[in-house]
Structure 1
């Protein structure tokens, strides 16, 4: 579970986190996990992960100053792409309340040509334990 605080600016006019912000939480959780799990700055790799697909199912309301946790697992680990399955939980004391589920797919491309390339080995090793079998 990746910790994620909500921010003051996340709330919209209706007093809850705006729907587009959930995608930012997915992006931040995945890339934060990759930075921590690989022990490297992923921005310095020969290949970059670009977002090719994302989705979100909204199941509960969250708002500032909620504390969140984002569950991350890998639904598919391909040659040049990783499809993550994510869940956003609102922390309520010792309990977690499911607020959203979603998907997020990275396709790895050469940083210059933007053509698909194999997933960097350091990334593959970091995500393999997250693969759902």
Structure 2
């Protein structure tokens, strides 16, 4: 089970009432939203990614998640983030969901972004500022 000490950046995320499913815990698909929120907040705030008008955007091309323990609203969570692989135009993020203050992850996942030119949808090199931010998270 992934441990908090294995991650380099943490993004607090608030669970919401509608995240719970009929079984009383956060539905599995919601974890992907947590991952997307953590990564994109980091890319925007630290890497300078302009999601509205920038020439380069990231497309998710692969994703997966493993579940170890349930979370439910109103749990406070933190999503741990690190980079497992940094290529020329792609990056593989490794993420884990932790209940606030807990050392063991409730879930762990990964996804790959390919950065593309917004106009052509063709892969491009990761911009320098964004690459510098991602390099801080390389495992």
Please say whether Structure 1 and Structure 2 have the same fold, judged by a TM-score greater than 0.5: yes
How many angstroms apart in 1 are the aligned matches of 2:16 and 2:104?
Answer: 18
How many angstroms apart in 1 are the aligned matches of 2:56 and 2:40?
Answer: 14
Q: Which has the higher helix share?
A: 1
Partner residue of 1:102? 109
Partner residue of 1:53? 62
Give per-residue Cα distances to partners, 1:71-126, cap 9 Å, x unaligned: 100000000001000011012xx434411001011001110111111111121011
Unaligned runs of 5+ in 2: 1-9
Partner residue of 1:17? 26
Alignment RMSD: 1.3
Q: Indicate which of 1, 17, 36 corresponds to 1:8.
A: 17
**Which SS does the other structure have where 1:117 is aligned?**
coil
> Does the 8 Å contact 1:5/1:68 carry over to 2?
yes
Unaligned runs of 5+ in 1: none
Partner residue of 2:44? 35
Q: CA deviation at 1:40?
A: 5.3
Q: CA deviation at 1:34?
A: 1.1
Query: How high is the TM-score relative to the length of structure 2?
Result: 0.88
Query: How high is the TM-score relative to the length of structure 1?
Result: 0.92
Give per-residue Cα distances to partners, 1:18-58, cap 9 Å, x unaligned: 00000000000000111111345344321100001110000
> Does the 8 Å contact 2:48/2:129 carry over to 1?
no
> Does the 8 Å contact 2:90/2:126 carry over to 1?
yes
The alignment of Structure 1 onto Structure 2 pairs a total of residues equal to 130
